[in-house]
Amino acid sequence: MFAVLQLGCGAHSFKRNDLKNSIDLRAKLEMAIFRIKELINEEQKFIQITTAVRKYLATSIRDLMQHGARCFPRRNGSSNTHIHAWEIILEYYHLKNGEKFNSTPARKLSQSFNLDIAGASPTSNKHNMLCTIGNIISTHTPYKRSYDSHFKAFVCAALNSNKLVSWMSLIFQCSQIIKLHYYPWSYVVKTGFQDSLKSLDTLTSYKFDLPVDLAVRQFQNIKDVFT
């Protein structure tokens, strides 16, 4: 058991610190939500709101999603590491055949020209989310952006679409993800993320226009100069 705990992966058992940690993480999320509301109500500058969302809200959601997450096998043969919140989202994307959905000719044309094409426009929360995940993969992955950058882009896009709670609910309703990637004592399993979703829902009444491409904008600008 000592060796397993030293490696950080394996049959991890519940400890009292795990409960305290989840409580602390919930408190961080509440503070992040309060801060964003405060900035919006004070009509603070756009950049301050963007920073608060990316630096505090997104990371608080990430940490709660990763609480009690199992280890993830790495293809390159390196030692297993705990799964990242963005990898949970990618898992949902693959389970729901997101690549197939986004690879249809109509969807590709719609994405290329930013058009809504009859019969191709997303008509459900799931399709909206699959489109958004696909867009983030196409813009962030080629520039080798970190999982954190991908995840922050997802949170920003979800807030812009007023779909953060709806999309996250879909992820946590996916039993395959819960069974495969979370320990029984994890925050996600114990709560279903419901209390956090209720808190996040208080942001629904606010209108966001956050940059989704912030982590790749400089690379895209350089590319535009030489094309």
Q: What is the pLDDT of residue 82?
A: 83
Residues 6+ apart with CB under 8 A from 117: 106, 109, 110
Q: What is the pLDDT of residue 72?
A: 72
Q: Reduced to 3 states, what is the DSSP secondary structure of residue 71?
A: strand
- pTM score, two decimals? 0.83
The answer to the question of residue 125 being in a domain is yes
The answer to the question of residue 136 being in a domain is yes
Q: Which CATH number goes with the domain that contains 218?
A: 1.20.58.900
Q: How far is CA 219 from CA 38, 58, 66, 132, 133, in A?
A: 33, 22, 29, 20, 20
Average pLDDT per block of 10 residues along the chain, 227 residues long: 40 63 96 97 89 98 97 63 94 96 76 50 79 93 89 97 97 96 96 98 96 70 42
Domain holding 220, by residue range, is: 16-22+38-68+80-225
Q: What is the pLDDT of residue 44?
A: 78
Into how many domains does the chain fold?
1
